[in-house]
Structures are given as structure tokens and as C-alpha cells.
A and B are shown apart, each in its own frame.
Chain A
Amino acid sequence: MIKSVISRIFSMTLVLWVIVTVTFLLMHAIPGGPFTAEKALPEAVLKNIEARYRLNDPLPKQYADYWANLLKGDLGPSFKYESRTVNEIIAEGFPVSAELGLVAVSISVLIGIPAGMAGALYHNRWPDHLVMLFATFGISVPSFILATVLIYIFALWLRILPAAMWGSPEYVILPALALAGMPTAFIARLTRSSMLEVLSQDYIRTAKAKGLAPIKILWRHALKNALLPVVTYLGPMIAAIFTGSFVIESIFAIPGLGRHFVTSIYNRDYTVILGITIFYSTILVIMNFLVDLAYLWIDPRIKMDGEGRN
């Protein structure tokens, strides 16, 4: 157990190093400096700016400096907005994104798991067909389309929920639903298929044979094993919801980190792109690590060698 935790920590560190390096190199692989697009700048001004952001240093030195700052938790200044640092942008946007993401994750889990269980319990009967129909639709409709459909129905047509912006709780509902759509469908499918597999196993038959009530079999014996694949999906799901929120936050004009990211792409604000990517990736990698730990804790049969995950 301790050995596998240590080996996970080691590989997590490796992943983070790869992420920072790849992102850093990608951002510096963009042809021309970040300021060359603005033709109006005179030579001397350009030199000054480049000196300020230390773009004249050789690449290895920039890389070392970036790491040195990163380890202190400093992601550097924004290229576009003179007075703002990447840290400030993240501190401002992340709580909003986290709130939205948390609501979306809760929706997916609270709807997806019961729906999948219902599908497995009524296998090949109408509840199953209904769940599978919705779930297949769910994984087929991209979040940005679901978002606009929701806006059209609830905000423009029925006029019961706000179409955009951020503030009181009712502003969370539509974007969270749009974000949760695909993960909910995925969790429902996953729960259904793993539940079907568990229900066909011998120990469930034994439980039935000794006369346990169906609800007790389900709750005490089947559910825990059936949910293991769902736990493994939590890591990728959190990633999907976070990255999905780039578009959702833009559509709903929510001042979260995702919208800052998309704006920084439009603005070609490289330090912000770099900083937010590293920040997001770090969070996701840590999430994955926690999910792995949870998995190890729930299912003692699994050895943590990376084989169990898919």
C-alpha cells in the first residue's frame, strides 16, 4: 500500500514535470514573439518590453527562471493586461469555476448512478430502454449545444431562469445542467453495465438463495462493487467538466477561469495561457491521484500499477 502510494506520487511528479515542460516549450514554439503582431511598436519599445518580460534570455535560462518562480507559486505577469498577474486572474476566476464544476459533478453523480441502477435492475424492460435512450442522447449532444437549447427554452421562451451572467443561485442552474449532461449520461451507462456484470455473479445468486430482500442485496452487496468503475471515471469526468466549462463560461458570460482562458487565447496572452494550463493540469493530476487513492482504499484487490485504470 505505502509502496504503491509512493510510486503514484513519483509518477504524479513526473506527469507535472512533463506538463510544465511541454506547455512551456509549446508556448515558446509559437513563431515570432508575442508582441510582433502589433506592427505599430517601434524597435526600441519592443526591445524594452522584451527585456521587461526577459524574452531576450536564452531559452534554458527562461525555463529555469520559470521553474524558480513556479516553485514559489508565482506564475508571472500577464502580457496583455499590464497591471495584472496570472495569479490574480486565477484567484479571481477559480472560485467561480470551482463552484460551477462542483454543482455539475454533484448533478452527474446524483442523477447518473440511480439512473444506471434502474437500467440494470429492469434490464431489457422499458426503464432500461428509457435510461439507455437518454444516456445515448446525452453522450451525443455536445455541451455547447445543450447550453444554447437550455437558454432558448428556459430563458428566452419560458423566461424563468436568467440567460447569462453570475450571481445568485439561480444563475448556476442552466450552466451546471449544460455541463453535467454528458458526464451524467456517461455515468449512467457505466453504472448500468457494471451493475449488470455484478448482478450476474455467484455471490449475488447466493444472497438471493438465502432469501435476502432484493433491496438489501442491491444496497449491501451489489452497489459497492458496481460503483468501482464509476470511481475510476471520476478523474476524467472532473477533467471533462473543467475543460467543458471553457465554452460554457463563455456562452453564459460567467467570470470564471475558463472564460479567462478562452479570452487569453483570443488575445494571444501567452503567460496567461501557460499559467492557466499549468494550474488546471496540476489540479486535474492531483484529482486523479486522489481518485486512485480512493480506489485503493475501497478495493483492496487492486494493486496500484496503473493497469486498473482505463
Chain B
Amino acid sequence: MDFTRLKPSETKQHLYLRPHVGFRQDAWLRLKKNRAAMAGLTIILIISLLALFGPMFSPYSYSDQTLAKANQPPSASNWFGTDNLGRDLATRVCYGARISLSIGIVASLINLGIGVLYGGIAGYFGGRIDSVMMRIVDVLYGIPLLLYVILLMVVLKPGLLNVFIALGLVYWLRMARIVRAQVLGLKELEYVLAARVLGATPWRLIFGHLLPNSLGPIIVTLTLSIPEAIFIEAFLSFIGLGVSAPMASWGVLASEGVVTLRSYPFQLLWPAVAISLTMLGFNFLGDGLRDALDPRMRR
């Protein structure tokens, strides 16, 4: 029997080998296939655009009071209606998006900074440093954190900056644990040993090698902590401890809407829909990212 050599174009090899794609591209491809995640991403993009540009196109400002036009139902001039002081609700909801989104993002970034640094150091150095640092995290973990955010807000007085501080100070624990677990596993790998042999400093090892390779879980945790921060701010504003009037986060709008629920339910509807949609968007995206970035899911 004779064997003839096939040209590469004639083989069926391409059917069995997957094309070479990098990790990021691969993750993006898988994310794109996930309809819920893409829906989440779309919601987030739309709300971010509304937050950025919505107030610019509105003829009203978030604090313009027109008492003659109080409690108007939705109409051509006020798409979402007006509140009990005659302020345009569409503008206030867009403006609230700015505040709520920036709280979600800034608070999560503060958590990211503290958590990554803390977890990275504990995981890298290990041993006694690790066990002391993680014992502290364990103790803090036993504390009902929301209570302490509330207490911090009582001490700090309501205000946007203080919401950042209170949330940032309290909610970094989960990030620290996840980063530490990642680093702990990664540092035993050969490439880290190789880098160390070549004389890399601990600083370079942590920031140049270990953390970039833990990026997947970090991004997922970050995405899922944004809706949490938005929720907590809404909660705080709802009990009067969030941002202060006349600023309007969604929590403030919701708590104002509850007062007039019986007569003007639409005043609660818009902020409620805005909060829920945003949290939904981030949760969908976070779930999708977890599936897309988890190497075990790679086929």
C-alpha cells in the first residue's frame, strides 16, 4: 500500500485543532456567545451613556424647583414626570445614575486597591506574615459589615465622599481573600521560580507576574462588588445616611418616592427600575465573566 503525502490544505487537521487564540481573545469570544452577559454589558453601557450625556440634553437641572408643576405625571415636557417640588424626574434619574455609578465604581476600586495589596502581600510572603494577616481578615469577617458602614456614616456625616470612605474601608475583605488564594497557588509554579532565579524582586514578582495572572478572579470580584456598593449606597440613602440633598442618588429618589407611593407611584417606579436594571446588568456581566475567564471552562 502506498502512502501519499497530503498538502497541508488537504488535511482535515484544521477540523480537530482549534485556531490559536490568546487567553484574552478566547475569553472575549466566550463572553460574546453568552447572551445574558452581553445583555448586561449593553444595559451598563446604555446607563453609563445616559449618566454621562443625559443631563446635558435636558432643559432642566437636577435641583430646579418649579412648585407650580409639582407631582406632574409623565408627559411630553417631563418624560418621567416631576417630583413633589416640581423637579424633572428624568433629569434627576440621569443625574442619580452619575452618583450611583460613581459610588459603585470608586468604592470598588478602593476595595480593589486595598484588597489586592493586602492579599498579594499575605499570599506572597506566606508563613507567619500570612497567618497573622489572614487571622485579622477572619476576625473582621465575623463582623456584620453593613452595621459598621452605617455606624461610620453616623460618625462621618452623610455625603458623597464619606460614602466612598465608609464603603472602601469596610468591603475589601473578599478581594483580599481571593487574591491571597490565587497568589498562594501561583507562586509555587515554575515560571515564578524562574523569575526569582533571574533575580526578580518580590515587588516585581507580585506586580509583574503573580497579580496579572490572577486577573480573572479579580475582575469577576470587581464586577460583582459594583452592584453591591450601589445597593449599599441606596440602602444608606434610604435611611437618610447616604448623599445629602439636593443631590439625588437613586437611593434618595427611591426614599422620596416611597413617601408619595399612594398618590404618585411613578415617582418610585423610575429609580426602582434604574437600580434594579443596573444591578441586573452587573450581575449578568459578572456571571458571564466568571464563566469566560475560568480556565477550567476552556475547551
B292 at the interface (CB under 8 A from A): no
Given the contacts A140-B276, A144-B238, A152-B265, A281 and B151 also touching, CB distance less than 8 Å: no
Find out whether the CB atom of B151 lies under 8 angstroms from the CB atom of A15.
Answer: no
| Closest B residue to A285 using CB positions | B142
- 1/0 per residue, CB under 8 A from A, across B135-168: the answer is 1001111111011101110110000000000000
Secondary structure of the B contact surface, majority rule: helix
Find out whether the CB atom of A22 lies under 8 angstroms from the CB atom of B148.
Answer: yes
Report chain B residues within 8 Å CB of A27: 151, 155
A265 at the interface (CB under 8 A from B): yes
B171 at the interface (CB under 8 A from A): no
Secondary structure of the A contact surface, majority rule: helix
B227 at the interface (CB under 8 A from A): yes
- 1/0 per residue, CB under 8 A from B, across A208-247: the answer is 0000000000000000000000000000000110110011
A12 at the interface (CB under 8 A from B): yes
CB distance from A128 to the nearest CB of B (A): 13
A137 at the interface (CB under 8 A from B): yes
CB distance from B280 to the nearest CB of A (A): 4
How many B residues, CB 8 Å from partner? 44
Find out whether the CB atom of B235 lies under 8 angstroms from the CB atom of A142.
Answer: yes
Find out whether the CB atom of A277 lies under 8 angstroms from the CB atom of B151.
Answer: yes
Report chain B residues within 8 Å CB of A18: 139-140, 143
CB distance from A69 to the nearest CB of B (A): 20
Size bracket, chain A contacts: 35 or more
Given the contacts A11-B139, A151-B261, A285-B142, A266 and B240 also touching, CB distance less than 8 Å: yes
Given the contacts A148-B268, A262-B239, A265-B239, A277 and B147 also touching, CB distance less than 8 Å: yes
A14 at the interface (CB under 8 A from B): yes
A16-64 interface with B by 8 A CB criterion: 18-19, 22-23, 26-27, 29-30
Find out whether the CB atom of A148 lies under 8 angstroms from the CB atom of B241.
Answer: no
Given the contacts A30-B154, A140-B276, A284 and B238 also touching, CB distance less than 8 Å: no
Find out whether the CB atom of B275 lies under 8 angstroms from the CB atom of A142.
Answer: yes
Given the contacts A280-B144, A284-B144, A142 and B231 also touching, CB distance less than 8 Å: yes
CB distance from A149 to the nearest CB of B (A): 7
Of the candidates A140, A247, A285, which one forms a contact with B238 in the assembled complex, judged by CB atoms under 8 Å apart? A247
CB distance from A26 to the nearest CB of B (A): 5
Of the candidates A139, A239, A265, which one forms a contact with B283 in the assembled complex, judged by CB atoms under 8 Å apart? A139
Report chain A residues within 8 Å CB of B152: 26
B98 at the interface (CB under 8 A from A): no
B262 at the interface (CB under 8 A from A): yes
Given the contacts A12-B142, A136-B283, A141-B279, A280 and B235 also touching, CB distance less than 8 Å: no
Of the candidates B36, B138, B144, B238, which one forms a contact with A306 in the assembled complex, judged by CB atoms under 8 Å apart? B138
A91 at the interface (CB under 8 A from B): no
Distance A136 CA – B134 CA, assembled complex (angstroms): 31
Find out whether the CB atom of A29 lies under 8 angstroms from the CB atom of B155.
Answer: yes
Find out whether the CB atom of A142 lies under 8 angstroms from the CB atom of B234.
Answer: yes
Find out whether the CB atom of A148 lies under 8 angstroms from the CB atom of B261.
Answer: yes
Distance A247 CA – B238 CA, assembled complex (angstroms): 8
B31 at the interface (CB under 8 A from A): no
Find out whether the CB atom of A26 lies under 8 angstroms from the CB atom of B147.
Answer: no
B80 at the interface (CB under 8 A from A): no
Find out whether the CB atom of B155 lies under 8 angstroms from the CB atom of A26.
Answer: yes
Which A residues lie at the B interface, using CB under 8 A? 11-12, 14-15, 18-19, 22-23, 26-27, 29-30, 136-137, 139-142, 144-145, 148-149, 151-152, 156, 239-240, 242-243, 246-247, 250-251, 262, 265-266, 268, 273, 277, 280-281, 284-285, 288, 306, 309-310
Known: A11-B139, A246-B150. 15 other contacts (CB 8 A): A22-B148, A23-B151, A26-B152, A30-B155, A140-B227, A140-B276, A140-B279, A142-B275, A148-B268, A240-B146, A250-B239, A251-B258, A277-B151, A280-B144, A280-B147
Nearest 4 interchain pairs by C-beta: A140-B279, A140-B280, A15-B142, A145-B272
